[in-house]
């Protein structure tokens, strides 16, 4: 009988149904798992389910019976994939579930920031409308999206969907060529041109050694149009200290951040310092988390496990996810 252990079930909302696999098994789930608890909880397991719990090589070496790591997300940077590949442990992830939820959240941030929704709401609650003495007031900038240049870093399904939404608003999408790479084809706009000319810059790429810190002070100083920066991908893509400085110097018009490094961010950390700014919105890694998307993740997760046990594995990861 296969032993299946889910180390962080609380990363799904309570209303999401996680069906049990159809083959004989023992299923154990924990709401959360601290680093020091992982090895003990996975002892004897053939299948580990994780969302954000780290499985590094030195820990995996203590789990000789492990055959599959089923990641309840698209990103697999929490798993030591090189170790898994070298030792015959399969890694499967979730794909194409977030086609609506992440782009919609990204545009929620873009619209809210572009039109200063949050600070205007705060002003209304503080009585500023009554003080204005007329039907409206203009304490904060308000900009249309139509005609704005939308720089997209990441050309996968999420980036493509963001481009579709941008076109619907009359924006001009640009897919950034990979940093330091040329000759990628007609889909791409040169990296430097995107950085220099975007009015809105939104990130939809994985976190890899090549993309870690891809947006830092050098890039902020090249942003001639002082764009909004939106990150619904991975926290490590943006150098947080540099973002704080860029906001302080007015190099960017604002920031919408759904992902941090680490998560949650330290109470005294950079992201919490900038979160109260009127031109910053920080959300708690929920771009992926509509009820519809979460249920799709849960269903695909169990499909991956059932297919692996049946000998026809799906969504195996070998690359940079």
Give the up-direction half-sphere exposure of residue 22: CA atoms within 13 A in the CB hemisphere: 8
Interatomic CA distance for residues 246 and 226, integer angstroms? 9
Nearest 10 degrees: Cα torsion 142, 144, 145, 149: -90
Residues 6+ apart with CB under 8 A from 35: 54
- So which residues are the catalytic ones? 234, 263, 285
β partners of residue 27: 4
- For residues 111 and 202, is the Cβ–Cβ distance under 8 A? no
Tokens matching residue 267: 């109470």
- Alpha carbon separation from 279 to 20, 114, 163, 210 (Å, rounded): 44, 9, 23, 29
Measured CA angle at 88 (ends 208, 45), to 5 deg: 100
- For residues 211 and 238, is the Cβ–Cβ distance under 8 A? no
């Amino acid at each position: 009988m296969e032993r299946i252990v889910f180390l962080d079930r609380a990363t799904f909302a309570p209303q999401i149904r996680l069906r049990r696999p159809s083959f004989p098994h023992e299923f154990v789930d924990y709401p959360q798992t601290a680093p020091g608890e992982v090895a003990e909880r996975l002892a004897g397991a053939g299948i580990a389910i994780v969302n954000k719990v780290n499985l590094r090589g030195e820990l995996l070496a203590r789990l000789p019976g492990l055959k599959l790591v089923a990641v309840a997300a698209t990103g697999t940077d929490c798993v030591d994939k090189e170790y898994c590949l070298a030792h015959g442990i399969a890694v499967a992830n979730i794909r194409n579930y977030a086609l609506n939820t992440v782009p919609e959240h990204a545009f929620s941030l873009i619209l809210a920031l572009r039109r200063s929704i949050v600070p205007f709401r705060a002003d209304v609650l503080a009585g500023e409308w009554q003080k204005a003495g007329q039907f409206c007031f203009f304490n904060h900038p308000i900009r249309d999206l139509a005609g704005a240049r939308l720089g997209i870093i990441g050309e996968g399904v999420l980036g493509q969907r963001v481009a579709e939404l941008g076109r619907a608003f009359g924006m001009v999408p640009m897919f950034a060529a990979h940093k330091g790479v040329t000759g990628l084809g007609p889909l791409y706009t040169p990296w430097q041109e995107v950085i220099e000319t975007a009015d809105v810059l939104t990130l939809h790429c994985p976190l890899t050694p090549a993309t870690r810190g891809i947006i830092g002070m050098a890039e902020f100083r090249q942003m001639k149009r002082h764009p909004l920066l939106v990150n619904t991908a991975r926290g490590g893509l943006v150098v947080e200290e540099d973002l704080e400085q860029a906001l302080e110097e007015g190099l960017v018009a604002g920031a919408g951040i759904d992902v941090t490094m680490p998560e949650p961010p330290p109470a005294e950390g950079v992201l919490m310092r900038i979160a109260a700014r009127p031109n910053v919105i920080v959300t708690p890694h929920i771009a992926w988390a509509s009820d519809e998307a979460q249920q799709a993740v849960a269903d695909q997760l169990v499909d991956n496990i059932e297919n692996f046990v049946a000998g026809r594995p799906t969504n195996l990861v070998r690359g940079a996810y």
